[in-house]
Every structure is written in C-alpha cells, then in structure tokens.
Amino acid sequence: MVDGPGIRYVVFFAGCPLRCRYCHNPDTWKPEGGRLYSVDEILADIRKYKSYIKFSGGGVTATGGEPLMQPDFLAALLAACRACGIHTTLDTSGYAPVEAAAKALAHTDLLLLDIKSINPGTYREVTGVPIDRTLDMLRLSQSMKVPVWIRFVLVPGLTDSIDDMREMAGFLKGFDNIKKIEVLPFHKLGEYKWETLGTPYALADTLPPSKDLLERAKGILELRAS
C-alpha cells in the first residue's frame, strides 16, 4: 500500500546497476538472484487479487532491483496488465537508456521516480552512478505525458543539504506531470540483509532524521508538487 495508489500487487525484478548506500533490497542487486517467470504466470497470480485491486483503486507496481534492466519483459508485463484493465506503476531509479525507458513508459499509468539528490556529486556518492539518466527519464515522462510521483530519501549527513533541496524544488517545479513529491525518512529496516550478504553497511551509525529536519524538508519539497 506504499508503492502507488490503493492496494498494489508488487513485482520485484532482480538486478540493479546502482549500489545505493541505504538500499533496503541489496538481495535484488544480482540479476541471477531471482526466479524465472513468464508474463502469463505472473498475470495468472495477479488475477487472483483483481477484486481487491479494483475495489481499492490499486494496481500492479514493478519495482526491484531495477525493472528497466529487463525492458522487454517489463514492457510486456505492463502491457498485459493494462489489457486486463489493471492500473500500472513503474518504480525506478531512472538509470536506463531512454530507448528502454520509452518501451516501458508506453504502458505505464504512473511513474515513481527516485531522485536521490539533485547535486551530481551527492547523487554519485549515494548511488555509484551519474545523475544524467535519471533526469533524462523525468524529461521523457513529461514528453510522454506520464504522471509522476517523485521520491526523495532524507538521510542525515548525506542528502540533507537545505541548499540542494531548494535547488531540487526549483528544478522540479518545471515539470507539470509531477503530481506528488514524497520525502521519505531514512531507515535501517534492511540493514540485516547487508549483514546476511556479508556486505559492510556504511550507514550503520546514521540515525533517522529528526522530526524538525523531516518537516523542514517536506516544507521545501512536498509543497512544490503541481
């Protein structure tokens, strides 16, 4: 119920090119770490919950990992859901070639786009990759008229620069397809997964943002939604 409107059936895709320092799904990083499914197999399971989905105004959300690492399968799944009258949402970092993104967005009713920071240096520090593709994805969604919810994770000492948040707010104001901006407080609910994988967790000593900092961030960003 947090990955788009209503009750959602969530499909987690394996494989991700990012290595976000606060990732709560590091077990989805490796493409070979998942199970193989066909579109028909997933759709058959989705149909079991169609009445709940419809009643709540929900749908299907593709997330990960990074769904756009499997663009053809993703597009086929979203198209199949739409053909059944099911609302489709794509939850992505946007780190994918524009051509791959366009295939999926053609069958997407709502885009959840994670922008870790508008500051290119901070973005690379958080993710390990440059910011360009994420911003290109936002521009593409505007040109294709796909509604967008922006997601921003507030991490003390990492993404909490007030100046950066103000710059992001100003940048996002230029996109009329942005319907919502969510400021999400950093949490460590996925830390145990890092331990299980034997991977050092760089933010082990980082605390969630204070109530005052969270409210200030929301005041800067969330009110800028169109």
Query: What's residue 33's pLDDT?
Result: 79
The domain limits of the chain are 8-224
What lies within 8 Å, CB to CB, of 91 at 6+ separation is: 3, 4, 61, 62, 63, 64, 67, 112, 114
> How far is Cα 176 from Cα 144, in angstroms, rounded to an integer?
12
Q: Encode pLDDT of 90-137 as tens digits.
A: 999 999 999 999 999 999 999 999 999 999 999 999 999 999 999 999
ω into 85 cis (within 30 of 0): no
pLDDT surpasses 80 at 47: yes
Determine whether domain 8-224 maps to CATH 3.40.605.10. Answer: no
* Digit-coded pLDDT (tens) for 146-195: 999 999 999 999 999 999 999 999 999 999 999 999 999 999 888 888 88
The pLDDT assigned to 223 comes to 56
User: Which pTM does this prediction carry?
Assistant: 0.93
pLDDT level of residue 2 (50, 70, 90 thresholds): confident
